[in-house]
Structure 1
Amino acid sequence: MSDIKRRYVIAEDNTPVGVIIDIATFERIESILEDYGLAQFINEADDEEPLDRAGAQKKIRGPG
Structure 2
Amino acid sequence: MLQIHKTYVVDENQVPLAVQIPIVEFEKIEEILENFGLAKLIDEVADEDHLSGEDARNYYQSLKANHVES
Q: Structures share a fold, TM > 0.5?
A: yes
- Percent identity over the alignment is 45
* Separation (CA, whole Å) in 2 of partners of 1:3 and 1:31: 15
1:11 aligns with 2:6: no
* Separation (CA, whole Å) in 2 of partners of 1:34 and 1:23: 16
* Separation (CA, whole Å) in 1 of partners of 2:41 and 2:2: 27
* Separation (CA, whole Å) in 1 of partners of 2:21 and 2:2: 13
Structure 1, unmatched stretches of 5+, are 58-64
Aligned length: 54
Structure 1 consecutive aligned stretches of length 4 or more whose deviation exceeds 2 Å? 47-51
Q: Secondary structure at the match of 1:9?
A: strand
**Cα distance, 1:6 vs. partner?**
0.9
Structure 2, unmatched stretches of 5+, are 60-70
**Cα distance, 1:26 vs. partner?**
0.4
Letter in 2 for 1:25: E
Letter in 1 for 2:34: E
Q: Hey, which of these two has a bigger chunk of strand by percent?
A: 1
Length-normalised TM-score, structure 2 = 0.63
